[in-house]
Structure 1
Amino acid sequence: MTQAEKGEAENGKDKERDREREQRGVKRPIVPAAVPESLQEQIQSNFIVVIHPGSTTLRLGRATDTLPAGIPHVIARRHKQQGQAAYRDSWLLRDGLSKPESTEQRQNGLKMVDQAIWSKKMSNGARRIPVSPDQARSYNRQMRPAILDHSSGAKWTNTSNNPEFLVGEEALYVNPLDCYNIHWPIRRGQLNLHAGPGGSLTAVLADLEVIWSHAIQKYLEIPLKDLKYYRCILLIPDIYNKQHVKELVNMILMKMGFSGIIVHQESVCATFGSGLSSACIVDVGDQKTSVCCVEDGVSHRNTRLCLAYGGSDVSRCFYWLMQRAGFPYRDCQLTNKLDCLLLQHLKETFCHLDQDISGLQDHEFQIRHPDSPALLYQFRLGDEKLQAPMALFYPATFGIVGQKMTILQHRSQGDPEDPHDEHYLLATQSKQEQSSKATADRKSMSKPGAFEGELRGQSSDISERIYPQEVELGSSQGDCMIPGNDSEEPLTAHMSRKTAISQFEGKALGLDKAILHSIDCCASDDTKKKMYSSILVVGGGLMFHRAQEFLQHRILNKMPPSFRRVVENVEVITRPKDMDPRLIAWKGGAVLACLDTTQELWIYQREWQRFGVRMLRERAAFVCPVMCKVAGSLFKVHTLKNTLGINEQQFTISRASSHLSSEKANSYNYIIVGAGSAGCVLANRLSEDPQSTVLLLEAGPKDTLLGSKRLMWKIHMPAALTYNLCDEKYNWYYHTTPQRHMDDRVMYWPRGRVWGGSSSLNAMVYIRGHAEDYNRWSRQGALGWDYEHCLPYFKKAQTHELGPDQYRGGNGPLHVSRGKTNHPLHQAFLEAAQQAGYPFTDDMNGYQQEGFGWMDMTIHQGQRWSTASAYLRPAISRPNFSVAEKTLVTKILFQGTKCIGVEYVKNGQRKKVFAIKEVILSGGAINSPQLLMLSGIGNADDLKKLGIPLVCHLPGVGQNLQDHLEVYVQQKCTKPITLYTAQKPLNMVRIGLEWLWKFTGEGATSHLESGGFIRSEPGVPHPDIQFHFLPSQVIDHGRVASTMEAYQVHVGPMRSTSVGWLKLKSSDPNDHPIIEPNYLSTERDMWEFRQCVKLTREIFAQKAFEKFRGPEVRPGNHVQSDKEIDAFIRQKADSAYHPSCTCKMGQPSDSTAVVDPQTKVIGVENLRVVDASIMPSVVTGNLNAPTIMIAEKAADIIKGLPALQEKNVPVYKPKTLETQR
């Protein structure tokens, strides 16, 4: 036998021995070097999915997404056998509520709440007068619901196909009579293991896998087979179960198939998401509240504690308090999941922590349950709205008895797959300590006795100092607090550590005391000072009005006196960077994914398959002290980027906007809110006067990157318009309420949130409207706004490529052009319209709007020509002009009824700036009325319900909402000449490169180059239907790619008789308002839409389309009767994105008017509104051009210049009104 053969034989024997040992259960030694170093691979953030699983809500999204998708974290599973008993996990109900002591404890807690409310004075220095529930009970018991509609519109989930499972909203709306079990796989931050059906670890993990996989497929549109190309960042609770973490990692890598994973704690990710380097993180969720201190990316183990209560407990407490006050909805049941949803909504709507809101207030709410009528309840509430959230500080009010209410971080029980865990380290240290002790004893024989005792005391405690125990009870407080009597009871000296911890976990700490305890467990006084100066509140359980001030007051009053003297400032942060606190941790996970140095933390599928749970010890920052240091360095890199202003969410400031932080420039002559279609115009025109200082504030970012339009091609390439139309980065992304006349559809309303506003998102169609639109304005009370006074300002704004004439301008900043493609389908459309009997018009913005022709577009030299390009950029170099982006104005400031400035949020900091002359709102038809109402201008009753102090009662604010609705009539094209071929990858690259190189080609137009206006029937004096023709197919606002060679017409009525409204959802500026356009609420509107479809079909049937005409795609040849057409309209009509008229211009005597003809807000001083919201009624056409005209005219009014006027300009009128065409 050769030497090589002998070696191979020996190796074979070694392997055989190893196999035998494994079979006998004898494990081989684990060599640390066997665990590999992390692989360095290029990070592609769009291939990283961030998952934040909460007890009630699952949030997940790509790391590149602005916001995550959020769905109820619930699953309904079909019964496996007929007659199986139904099982439903409870939501608001929990163990410990039905004990004999519960009622007494709840009453005692409420007494402490009432005492605390009385002891804290209101802002005026007076004591708050308590309101007895008896005062509301007598009124509420008399109230009966009003029937709004005999059909609520809500529907049970359709289970006719017997799906095996349903997830999210569908699971919540499963009919209780259907054979499904309801499971919430996570409760109170931990896996929901219990003895009932679906309560085993295997079943819970299976539920999670189904829910997460379903959400990834549905909301992220990632096929499960492609997950091998993706990596995952999983957020886990601060106090975690290592065995559960192991199972979750195994599920994600081995079952779902992700290629890699990072596991990190919620608290650390919250600091990433907020941009703070150190903070005491207070995460108030729906089911639990966790508190811990994080410093430089490391969560201090001893500071972690979890309180077993959260927002759902507040909802249940609120329900109990409302019952005491005679809650009129007497059928409400905590076992009914729809009633639980209602109670959560009522809590979020009505509860607050504002001591100044006192007395009885009237409220109303609606109930819309499936198979039931829609009901409206009215009722009164007093202190209940304040008492319920205060239960977070006095948890005895929850009435929970016999449950473990405070949870600390315990050591894991160990895992046989990881022998080198913390237990191994402690055992090794113990042996070393025994050896050291023996040596020390021998050396100490000659030392005095005092030293012997000291050394013995040191050695007995050394293991705790090397590896800390689960918790250190506070040093300066030295106690665990007993919430039952709201007093502090120090631990007795003889009490053992385990007994102390056991008793500590049995107490229900109030939120403020938990924060104080967590900070007190920090290792040094310097760290404690840091934590007191940065208390970050995340999660959705404390999103109450004035919660920030309330918690700050509690902390200041209860913090140890020794720190009260040395801590300069106690700061509680509830909305860092003005973000939704529920999304902060997820956002931090997304930030973590984008850092290059995150490579150190990835655990890859092949590594997990080989080394298993040991990889957590090697790579998870919260397990391994070495990785904690890596995490700390990661965080320092992140905060450095924040400091330098180069992170993703940076607040970039233009040349002059540094004035915002300067004392000398804290006031301006004019402050303009909103850099949109009107705001950019005003900024340019008002800053023309070098003596006037102008500040322009915009909530969104710039429309360029590093000064380049090419780098922001999605905005400036005309053909790329759908990219940003559905991108939240540059878009407010509004949605309406469910539309009862449109099958309860929620309509999407994009509005620009970027320099240029909606002129940076729109389809660039330049339409002025009809002359009679402006004459109607004058008749409606907007004197001086008739056509002869508006036409000069249209011309002043414009430079038309065809040159100036009686209707067109030739020297304005806004460049207007005609399409260049001369597409055969556009030619066919115009020819077919004439064959159908309609005239051709060579300028629908000139003498004759009626007819069909080539449309004007705000495109200049192949680029979108928004108001940012036309007006804003030319003004930036002026020394008297300043502009700031990513600045959210939250309130208008008043002295009495005199406007003196605005309050805004920048970089998470709330600041004020003052106006010497005027504040001008140019936020648009949604944001301007919203800001007025947030500032106390609006309907007094509505503002009172939200606790907003009244400045001026103007009931018209938010009313008179008007919009254009349209449908797409689509025809398949028999020739391959539509834009369908342009969507092919190689063609897209070719088109994009040509545009980037010389701003020409198919990318240099929006392709909406032809259109027209007609009258719907005889007797109509001027056009009331508009057409846009597109040689392509649009699906779901462009979010779905075209599926065939097709062309379409966008068609809709121009003067709808359906009028809507918008109202505040809450007093929080970050909450979108409630938008109710009330579409199709009149029969006239439905009739006009029917005409739109029929007249479009007539045009498509003409000879000009014969060589292109294929089958009708939408509505389809099967849709013929009026009833079928009506159904199509209800299902497919969508907004044309033209909201307007919500701050109507009119005479002060008009109760519905908000501004007068001088654009001044009625009833207050130094405040104007200038944007599409002041239109008295919507015009016949797109709104960008009229909005720019309004701003041009308003600028002259503000500057005191005489109004321009052009009299006797001829306008086309039909020869007879007896015919429709």
Structure 2
Amino acid sequence: MIVGAGSAGCVLANRLSADPRHRVLLLEAGGKARNPLLHIPIGFGKTMHSPHYSWNFETEPDLGGRRRKWPRGKVLGGSSTINGLLYIRGQREDYDGWRQLGCTGWSYDDVLPYYRRSQDSDRADDPLHGSGGPLRVEHPQGQHPVSSRFVDACVQAGIPYNDDPNGAVQEGVAYAPVTMRRGVRCSAATAFLDPVRTRGNLHIVTGALVEGVDIADGRATAVRYRVGGVAHRAVALEEIILSAGAIGSPQLLMLSGIGDGDALAAVGVEARVQSPDVGRNLQDHLASMVIASLTPSATFNEVVRSPAILGQMWRYATARGGMFASAAAHVVVFCRSDTRLASPDIQLHMLPASTSDYAGGDLDRFPGLTCAPCQLRPESRGEVTLRSADPAAPPVIRPNYLSAPADQEALVAGIRISRRILAQPALADIVEREVMPGADVEASASLLASAAMLSESVYHPVGTCRMGGDPASVVDPRLRVRGVAGLRVADASIMPRLISGNTNAPAIMIGEKAAAMILEDARG
């Protein structure tokens, strides 16, 4: 039984139901992805914050006293159906670091086969990439003149061009790899679920709000859920796998009595298993914004307010190209805030568009370019806790952004790197002025204060059901919940540390590896 049809859950449903000896029940709180905007890449700008397709979580007041929006997918495919489509695996060192933390079997060499298994790359099959898998990964080149200029400016600033940020070396500037098939979004649902829906041993229930897991004699026995207000209880013949994400999975564990006993009692939940780390170790990428006003350059800001938008619609309808086939970034940059570092610690996302309200606002009325830097491996840690015993109540999310001095220094460095790129000859003749944070904001303390106000989540929460080899970890390296038999967690929440990049590709890899381990254990 799988709870959550997101990036990992869809993979699990596909791989586990491939063995006819297993019956698979997949429960998803959201509905089917029928809206065309869910399949048009640029549609994420509308669907990401729609209550029909997103949980629309909000954090507690944090930097600058602001609540930040945390959209999480509530639809088949989960966040892979509403995300920005970027396919980034991270660095070899990320996974080797997991192994050093006691996560046996999770080094880079261990996880690489699962990345290759899922992938259908538009490039030739090689030792680092796969072809023929369910998940299409494409590498658009030169999508917009401003994006091409930005790549050239990076090279002029001393950042090498890197044709493959998922290759042997991550560092450099690259056109962003995306989960797209000829201009159409390739979500976990379309890639892994749609081709196997007719399997007789796979049953998918949408609109299912899971309320908790029943535990008897130390074993997970059933899942309680509601559909349209009607209560149901599904008994597990084998295992229960939570794939509800970095917010949903710890919430369900706590609702089931697995967590910090005192904290659970405070909201009226009976503690069944003492596991204080549930909900802790929360990590996320926080991006500041460097927005530049340009001379007329056919940026998205201009196109949406001109007759040119009709041409873009026609181009997408006839050739699946142009602006409507754009991901959240045309260009990604991986660089180091300090040359003494062994690997990149900064990622920049660039798009020939801008909005002063990064989290879902309208495009600005001037020709705009956005360069959004974030620190790849933040040291700050937050938490997710229950607001109440009501499964429908959103949990309390405290990101604790920029609480570590190293995170503050890296984010300021990312802003300075962005400015250095914008000042290069390839862009200088079209950049009119820096709108945010503004050229007059120069001192590090002022930049940090500005970043605190302008920054937004990149929507990469992880770590709240930490995997580890130590007894305090929530799950062991085979993703089994400590203290409860027959219960696993398989999604981004199990990451002990945030990887150096976007998290959708790693979540899919986790689903692949989890399925292989579950089938192996079933064979006994």
Output the TM-score relative to the length of structure 2.
0.97
Secondary structure of the structure 2 residue equivalent to 1:1189: helix
Q: Is 1:1132 matched up with 2:454?
A: yes
Cα offset, 1:896, TM superposition: 2.4
CA distance in 2, matches of 1:1144, 1:925: 10
1:26-60 deviation digits (Å, cap 9, x = unpaired): xxxxxxxxxxxxxxxxxxxxxxxxxxxxxxxxxxx
Selected match of 2:355 from 1034, 1039, 1063? 1034
1:529-560 deviation digits (Å, cap 9, x = unpaired): xxxxxxxxxxxxxxxxxxxxxxxxxxxxxxxx
Selected match of 1:1053 from 340, 352, 375? 375
Report if the CA contact (8 A) 2:246-2:463 is conserved. yes
Q: Is 1:832 matched up with 2:153?
A: yes
Matched ranges for 1:922-961 at <5 A: 922-961=243-282
User: Partner residue of 1:1162?
Assistant: 482
Structure number with bigger Rg: 1
CA distance in 2, matches of 1:783, 1:962: 22
CA distance in 2, matches of 1:896, 1:989: 63
CA distance in 1, matches of 2:18, 2:37: 31
Secondary structure of the structure 2 residue equivalent to 1:882: strand
Q: Is 1:1065 matched up with 2:387?
A: yes
Cα offset, 1:1083, TM superposition: 1.7
Unaligned 5+ residue runs, structure 1? 1-670, 705-711, 1203-1221
1:970-997 deviation digits (Å, cap 9, x = unpaired): 1111133211222126444443354345
Selected match of 1:1088 from 410, 428, 433? 410
CA distance in 2, matches of 1:807, 1:1034: 36
CA distance in 2, matches of 1:814, 1:895: 38
CA distance in 2, matches of 1:835, 1:820: 19
CA distance in 2, matches of 1:703, 1:966: 29
Q: Is 1:726 matched up with 2:49?
A: yes
CA distance in 1, matches of 2:174, 2:521: 37
Secondary structure of the structure 2 residue equivalent to 1:818: coil
Matched ranges for 1:272-671 at <5 A: 671=1
CA distance in 2, matches of 1:788, 1:888: 37
User: Partner residue of 2:435?
Assistant: 1113
User: Partner residue of 2:40?
Assistant: 717
Q: Is 1:1191 matched up with 2:515?
A: no
1:670-707 deviation digits (Å, cap 9, x = unpaired): x1000000000000000000111101000001012xxx
User: Partner residue of 1:387?
Assistant: none
CA distance in 1, matches of 2:328, 2:150: 13
Secondary structure of the structure 1 residue equivalent to 2:67: strand
Unaligned 5+ residue runs, structure 2? none
Matched letter for residue 1020 of structure 1 = L
Matched letter for residue 690 of structure 1 = P
> Which structure carries more helix by proportion?
1
Secondary structure of the structure 1 residue equivalent to 2:123: coil
CA distance in 1, matches of 2:310, 2:282: 42
User: Partner residue of 1:672?
Assistant: 2
Report if the CA contact (8 A) 1:896-1:951 is conserved. no
More RCO (CA 8 Å, sep 6+): 2
CA distance in 2, matches of 1:755, 1:1167: 22
Cα offset, 1:1115, TM superposition: 0.8
1:295-338 deviation digits (Å, cap 9, x = unpaired): xxxxxxxxxxxxxxxxxxxxxxxxxxxxxxxxxxxxxxxxxxxx
CA distance in 1, matches of 2:489, 2:292: 43
1:984-1032 deviation digits (Å, cap 9, x = unpaired): 2644444335434553332122262211101111331111100111011
CA distance in 2, matches of 1:684, 1:984: 43
Structure 2 vs 1, CA of residues 750 and 1169 (structure 1 numbering), >3 Å: closer, same or farther?
A: same
Secondary structure of the structure 2 residue equivalent to 1:980: helix
Structure 2 vs 1, CA of residues 910 and 1159 (structure 1 numbering), >3 Å: closer, same or farther?
A: same
Matched letter for residue 729 of structure 1 = H
Selected match of 2:21 from 691, 704, 714? 691
User: Partner residue of 1:1074?
Assistant: 396
Cα offset, 1:804, TM superposition: 1.2
Q: Is 1:797 matched up with 2:130?
A: no
User: Partner residue of 1:464?
Assistant: none
Report if the CA contact (8 A) 1:1007-1:1031 is conserved. no
User: Partner residue of 1:570?
Assistant: none
CA distance in 2, matches of 1:1150, 1:1181: 28
Cα offset, 1:824, TM superposition: 1.6
Secondary structure of the structure 2 residue equivalent to 1:1027: strand
Report if the CA contact (8 A) 1:965-1:1135 is conserved. yes
Cα offset, 1:966, TM superposition: 0.3
Cα offset, 1:1035, TM superposition: 3.1
Matched letter for residue 1114 of structure 1 = M
Matched ranges for 1:731-770 at <5 A: 731-739=54-62, 742-770=63-91
Matched letter for residue 516 of structure 2 = D
Structure 2 vs 1, CA of residues 1078 and 750 (structure 1 numbering), >3 Å: closer, same or farther?
A: same
Report if the CA contact (8 A) 1:782-1:1156 is conserved. yes
Length, aligned pairs only: 521
Structure 2 vs 1, CA of residues 1007 and 990 (structure 1 numbering), >3 Å: closer, same or farther?
A: farther
Selected match of 2:467 from 1138, 1142, 1145? 1145
Matched letter for residue 33 of structure 2 = D
User: Partner residue of 1:1098?
Assistant: 420
CA distance in 2, matches of 1:678, 1:987: 39
Output the TM-score relative to the length of structure 1.
0.42
1:136-187 deviation digits (Å, cap 9, x = unpaired): xxxxxxxxxxxxxxxxxxxxxxxxxxxxxxxxxxxxxxxxxxxxxxxxxxxx
Report if the CA contact (8 A) 2:141-2:175 is conserved. no
User: Partner residue of 2:101?
Assistant: 780
Matched letter for residue 1061 of structure 1 = E
Matched ranges for 1:812-831 at <5 A: 812-831=133-152
Selected match of 2:337 from 1016, 1041, 1046? 1016
Report if the CA contact (8 A) 1:719-1:1004 is conserved. yes
Cα offset, 1:803, TM superposition: 2.1
Report if the CA contact (8 A) 1:818-1:1009 is conserved. no
Cα RMSD for the two superposed structures: 1.4
Cα offset, 1:1084, TM superposition: 1.6
User: Partner residue of 2:497?
Assistant: 1177
Q: Is 1:1005 matched up with 2:335?
A: no
CA distance in 1, matches of 2:57, 2:199: 34
Cα offset, 1:1055, TM superposition: 1.0
Report if the CA contact (8 A) 2:183-2:325 is conserved. yes
1:244-288 deviation digits (Å, cap 9, x = unpaired): xxxxxxxxxxxxxxxxxxxxxxxxxxxxxxxxxxxxxxxxxxxxx
